[in-house]
Amino acid sequence: MQHMDGTIFVIMGVTGDLATRKLIPALHELLKDGHLQKCAIIGVANDQTATIDSILEKSKSFIPEPNSDVLQKIRDVFVYQPFDFNDQSGYQKLKVTLENLESQFGFSGQRIFYLSVMPDYFAPITQNLALAGIIKKGDNSRIAYEKPFGHNLASAKSINKAIHSVFDESQIYRVDHFLGKELVDNIALVRFTNLFLQPLWNHQYIDNIQIFLNEEIDINHRGAFYDRYGALRDVVQNHMLQLLALIAMEPPKALDGQHIRDAKSAVLQCVKVEDVIKGQYAGYRTESGVNPNSTTETFAALRLSIENDRWTGVPFYLKTGKCLRAKNTSIHITFKSAQCMVSTPCPPPQNHLIINIDPAHGFALEINAKVSGYSNQIAPVPMTFCHSKLCPNSPEAYETLLFDIMKGDQSAFVRFDEIEHSWAIIDAAHAQHPETPPTIYEKGSQGPDELKIWAEKYNFVWRD
Ligand code: NAP
């Protein structure tokens, strides 16, 4: 078992939703499993009334099986330090606390700063940490930034510039928690370790690729945040374009962090936006925190092309939305039809490779087989692999990601150039039909009616 010792985690935004529901529970699991043994935790937020006990108590309900010894261990090494992120004197106090903890526990200075805060704070917090002398370029510290990383290409570039003045890229971990999910981690492995897939993975054999991130839930009390971002910026820029990059990238020289990131960045640079549908669920404008005249999209569908030899002529359809009929995150690769031989129907059904990420976890390959009996009829049959049956105790994404940061493994984190190429795609999507307001769709539906028009216009079948 691998384990890391002597790390101080500094969680900026420790009283927030993400820290409460995901980060503290992930640290609990890492300590419980022995992957983390010696650590200290400093939590920073604004709230002067919060205490270590109130923070841990809130988080406890999100820990699947809380262990009282582990919770006590966390309490013993936890310091809560309230200050405003814009207040320079707070960082001086933080520096003293870090040095005291390192000397008390005999740690040699591995510090992980996790910015679980809005992107507007990424540059100021990073620069304030440097100004206070807490971090230096090339030292032993690492810094993680939550998504979304900026608001558009210009803001992402400006954050990258500001943080590169303080940190080397090798110290920077831009988080996209989808990359910590086991099934997503599996995509490159499945593609490049199964030889039979490799000759098929191109425009000669693939008809179209569809990526879905359909949510049943609404904006869940995040109105003020969501109304500034919308579906394209909230999930397409990061999760969905990362899935596309893993599916579409050229074979990396090796399946390691640097080479996978090189390959993802190269393919993202070739993506072109062909068409966009934007929708808004009925009733969105009356949600708390939302502008009553809002034109923010809660639904987006994109038709993308990739301008390189492998993918010429293969459309990539990305579709996501809130308040849709059913939760479904999956990737569907539709192969071209085989020739008409003796089978009925003719041509035979297309084969599909499906990667189910949420709520199902696994792969399915739909192949054609003879229907039992004397006719020549064929029908698709699924060959399935259910990940949760084979690996029932897979770690949660944030557990894997925190462990990777401790190890210094950047494979599951997004490099500055990938982020910038993705934002260029989102800016281009927003620039299409800028005057057209999003179409209103009913809650619990599949999304706006334009989806049907696309299916006819582009001659394909939606797979969700
Ligand atoms: P949140 O609930 O609003 O928490 C924000 C945290 O930042 C709170 O601890 C808040 O402290 C602190 N904070 C805000 N302004 C501050 C200031 N000026 N000085 C000191 N502390 C300040 O947000 P969240 O949902 O946890 O999200 C954090 C980040 O993670 C965001 O970028 C979000 O997009 C991203 N993210 C969240 C989720 C999720 O499920 N929540 C998922 C993926 C990514 P006080 O409460 O004391 O003000």
Among 97, 110, 103, 101, CA closest to 44: 97
Q: Is pLDDT of 2 > 50? A: no
CA distances from 290 to 23, 123, 182, 286, 300 (A): 28, 26, 34, 7, 18
| pLDDT tens readout for residues 280-291 | 999 999 999 999
pLDDT, average across residues 185-195? 91
179-457 carries CATH number 3.30.360.10: yes
Provide the pLDDT for residue 451: 98
C-alpha span between 434 and 278 (Å, rounded):
10
Determine if the pTM surpasses 0.85.
yes
What would the mean pLDDT of 224-243 be, rounded to a whole number? 97
Give residue ranges with CB within 6 A of ligand 1: 13-19, 45-47, 84-86, 116-119, 146-148
Probe ligand 1: pick from 17, 55, 122, 176, max atoms within 8 Å of CB?
Answer: 17
Instruction: From the CA of 177, give the closest atom in ligand 1.
Output: 43
CA–centroid distance, 282 to ligand 1, in Å, is 28
**CATH number given to 4-146:** 3.40.50.720
Beta strands in 336-376 (DSSP E): 352-358, 362-370
If you measure from the C-alpha of residue 13 to the centroid of ligand 1, how many angstroms do you get, rounded to a whole number? 5
> Which residue has 């038709």 as its token pair?
303
For residue 3, the model assigns a pLDDT of 46
Ligand 1 atom with the smallest distance to the CA of 119 is 32
Kindly report the average pLDDT of the chain as a whole number. 94
pLDDT band with cut points at 50, 70 and 90 for residue 391? low
The minimum-distance atom of ligand 1 relative to the CA of 47 is: 47
Q: Which atom of ligand 1 is nearest to the CA of 87?
A: 19
Probe residue for ligand 1, chosen from 20, 83, 91, 117 as the CB with the greatest number of ligand atoms within 8 Å: 117
Task: Report the distance separating Cα 357 and Cα 360, nearest Å.
Answer: 6
Mean pLDDT of all residues in 403-407 = 94
Q: At what angle do helices 397-407 and 24-33 cross, to 10 degrees?
A: 70
Q: What is the pLDDT of residue 4?
A: 55
Pairing state between β 316-321 and 299-306? antiparallel
Which pLDDT band, with edges at 50, 70 and 90, does 221 fall under?
A: confident
> pLDDT (tens digit, 9 = 90+) per residue, 71-127?
999 999 999 999 999 999 999 999 999 999 999 999 988 999 999 999 999 999 999
The pLDDT of 432-448, averaged and rounded, is 94
Non-local (6+) Cβ contacts of 30 within 8 A are: 36, 399, 402, 403
Q: What is the predicted pLDDT for the residue at 423?
A: 98
Q: Check whether 364 has a pLDDT greater than 90.
A: yes
* Ligand 1 centroid – CA 116 distance (Å): 6
Tell the residue nearest (CA) to atom 4 of ligand 1: 16
- pLDDT per position as a tens digit, 297-350: 999 999 999 999 999 999 999 999 999 999 999 999 999 999 988 778 898 999
Percent of the chain at pLDDT exceeding 70: 98
Q: Cβ-count burial of 146 within 10 angstroms (0-12 exposed, 13-18 middle, 19+ buried)? A: buried
Mean pLDDT of 214-233: 95
Report which protein residue has its CA nearest ligand 1's atom 39.
18
Q: Where are the domains of the chain?
A: 4-146, 179-457
Mode of pairing for the β-strands spanning 316-321 and 271-281: unpaired
The mean per-residue pLDDT over the stretch 162-168 comes to: 96
Q: Which atom of ligand 1 is nearest to the CA of 82?
A: 20
Give 123 Cα–ligand 1 centroid separation in angstroms. Answer: 15
What's the pLDDT score for residue 404?
94
Q: In this model, does residue 1 exceed pLDDT 60?
A: no
Query: Comparing 272 with 3, which gets the higher pLDDT?
Result: 272
Q: For residue 433, what pLDDT band results from cuts at 50, 70 and 90?
A: confident
- Residue 46 CA, ligand 1 centroid: distance in Å: 10
Neighbours of 26 (CB within 10 A): 24
CA of 75 to the centre of ligand 1 (A): 22
Per the annotation, the verdict on 35 as an active-site residue is no
Mean pLDDT computed over 171-178: 96
The amino acid at residue 446 is Q
Q: Which of 35, 151, 239, 352 is catalytic?
A: 239
Residue 141: both structure tokens together: 């510290």
Q: What is the pLDDT of residue 210?
A: 98
Beta strands 362-370 and 206-214, pairing class: unpaired
With 70 as the cut, is the pLDDT of residue 5 above it? no
Residue whose token pair is 């797979």: 463
Report the nearest-CA residue for atom 5 of ligand 1.
Answer: 16
